[in-house]
Structure 1
């Protein structure tokens, strides 16, 4: 899978993105959720991650966890309504995996969605949106 640089941030094709700089990937009935390269880059060295327990109900737009660096604490927002099936223990044990591999081993949760993913941005649309923000 190719990773295309957008200015200095990578956006992986084949995933969907939200305006909280999170990505989702549907795999059969489960949806994997993670943070983007933009998130990990602007946060700096991520030192702590708080992720939900399996069975936690997700409500779209509401916080479900957080990540922290030495300079920043950021909420993670549920990208859809659903239920958490598994949280990534590797991220909780080694939060800096988010800096090293946000699109691979640094995924956050796998969940079952009860709402549609129709409001997400494609990789191209997210790249265009990102390039228009005051983040460059």
Structure 2
């Protein structure tokens, strides 16, 4: 799948000391009416049990100026806890293209990942003139590269 370019997003879920965030690229639109997306989360990811319990999350669609943010939340030493609480509830992550507020409707098992079919409850627009952050061939980049 490394040959297939995808967008990059930050998924945040949980509250208080249970808040977690993770960089994702397995995200797809499922339906426009009603608006639904699907995210794929590794079963052993720290965010998996929190997302399963909270049944709600935000997805911040990252811009090409947010490679540091993407790298920070892709590392094993991700920020967590109360420091992340604002990212779960805030309007739009500064610099992000958009933010989606979602509620989980169904969870499907897909091997070593769980697929969270979710309803998009609200959308916040961010950097309208920004370019998307892309993951391709194992690296972050832009559509211009």
Assess same fold via TM > 0.5.
no
Greater share of residues in strand: 2
TM-score interval w.r.t. the shorter chain? Answer: 0.3 to 0.5
